[in-house]
Chains A and B, each alone.
Chain A
Amino acid sequence: MARKKRSEEPEIELNLAPIMNMVMILIPLILTMVEFDKKAVLNISSPQNAQSTTPEDEEVEEETPVPKVVIYISSDGFRIGNQNPEVPGELFQPFANPINGCPGGGAEGTTSNTPHDLAEHPATICLADNDESKPLVQRLDYPSLYNRLAEIRLQPDWYDRFGEENNSVISLLADPEVPFEALVKAMDTARYFLEPVGSGVGVPSGAANISSYMLGGGGRPSLADLEDALYIDGPAEGLDPVPMFPDPVLLLPRPGSEG
Chain B
Amino acid sequence: MSEQNELAMSDEARILEQRAKAKRRSRGRRAGESEGGLNINSMMDMMVIIIVFLIKSVGSEPIQINQNDDLRLPNSTSTLAPEDMMVMSITKQWVMVEDESVIPINDGQIDPSALQSATSAVIPELQSRIEEQLNEQEQWARIAGREFEKMVTIISDSQTPYRVLTQVMITAAAAGVTNFKFAVIQRDQGSGVMSTGG
Please list the residues of chain A having a beta carbon within 8 angstroms of any beta carbon in chain B.
11, 13, 16, 19-20, 23-24, 26-27, 30-31, 33-35, 37-46, 48-49, 174-181, 183-185, 187-188, 191-192, 194-195, 199-202, 227-233, 239, 241, 250, 252-253, 255-256, 258
Q: Are A253 and B195 in contact (CB under 8 A)?
A: no
Q: B90: shortest Cβ distance to chain A, in Å?
A: 8
Q: Are A39 and B51 in contact (CB under 8 A)?
A: no
Q: Are B161 and A34 in contact (CB under 8 A)?
A: no
Q: Are B190 and A183 in contact (CB under 8 A)?
A: no
Q: Are B76 and A184 in contact (CB under 8 A)?
A: yes
Contacts of A42 in B (CB 8 A): 76, 78, 80, 181-182, 184
Q: Are B81 and A33 in contact (CB under 8 A)?
A: no
Q: Are A230 and B158 in contact (CB under 8 A)?
A: no
What bracket does the count of chain B residues touching chain A fall in? Answer: 35 or more
Please list the residues of chain B having a beta carbon within 8 angstroms of any beta carbon in chain A.
29, 34, 40, 44, 47-48, 50-51, 54-55, 57-58, 61, 63-65, 67, 73-83, 108, 118-121, 153, 156-163, 165-166, 169-170, 172-173, 177-186, 189-191, 194-198
Minimal Cβ-Cβ distance residue in A for B57: A34
- Distance, CA A183 to CA B184, complexed state (A): 12
Q: Are B40 and A16 in contact (CB under 8 A)?
A: yes
Contact of B162 among A33, A49, A174, A191 (CB under 8 A): A174
- Distance, CA A30 to CA B196, complexed state (A): 38
Known: A37-B185, A180-B160, A183-B162. 9 other contacts (CB 8 A): A16-B44, A27-B50, A30-B51, A30-B58, A39-B61, A40-B79, A42-B76, A174-B162, A258-B163
Contacts of A30 in B (CB 8 A): 51, 54-55, 58
Interface of chain A, helix or strand or loop or mixed?
mixed
Minimal Cβ-Cβ distance residue in B for A252: B166
Contacts of B44 in A (CB 8 A): 16, 19-20, 23
- Distance, CA A233 to CA B194, complexed state (A): 9
25 contacts between A and B (CB under 8 A): A27-B47, A27-B54, A33-B58, A38-B186, A39-B183, A40-B80, A41-B80, A46-B173, A46-B178, A178-B162, A179-B159, A179-B160, A179-B162, A180-B161, A183-B162, A187-B78, A191-B77, A194-B189, A228-B190, A229-B189, A230-B195, A232-B197, A252-B166, A253-B162, A258-B163
Minimal Cβ-Cβ distance residue in B for A227: B190
Minimal Cβ-Cβ distance residue in A for B78: A40
Minimal Cβ-Cβ distance residue in B for A17: B34
Q: 5 closest A-B pairs (Cβ-Cβ)?
A: A176-B163, A200-B198, A181-B158, A195-B197, A181-B74
Q: Are B78 and A188 in contact (CB under 8 A)?
A: yes
- Say yes or no: A46-B169 contact (C-beta < 8 A), given A30-B54, A31-B54, A191-B78: yes
Minimal Cβ-Cβ distance residue in B for A29: B54
Minimal Cβ-Cβ distance residue in B for A224: B190
- Say yes or no: A180-B180 contact (C-beta < 8 A), given A11-B29, A41-B81, A43-B80: no
Q: B30: shortest Cβ distance to chain A, in Å?
A: 11
Contacts of B172 in A (CB 8 A): 46
Q: Are B161 and A39 in contact (CB under 8 A)?
A: no
- Distance, CA A252 to CA B177, complexed state (A): 16
Q: A44: shortest Cβ distance to chain B, in Å?
A: 5
- Distance, CA A250 to CA B29, complexed state (A): 73
- Distance, CA A195 to CA B190, complexed state (A): 11
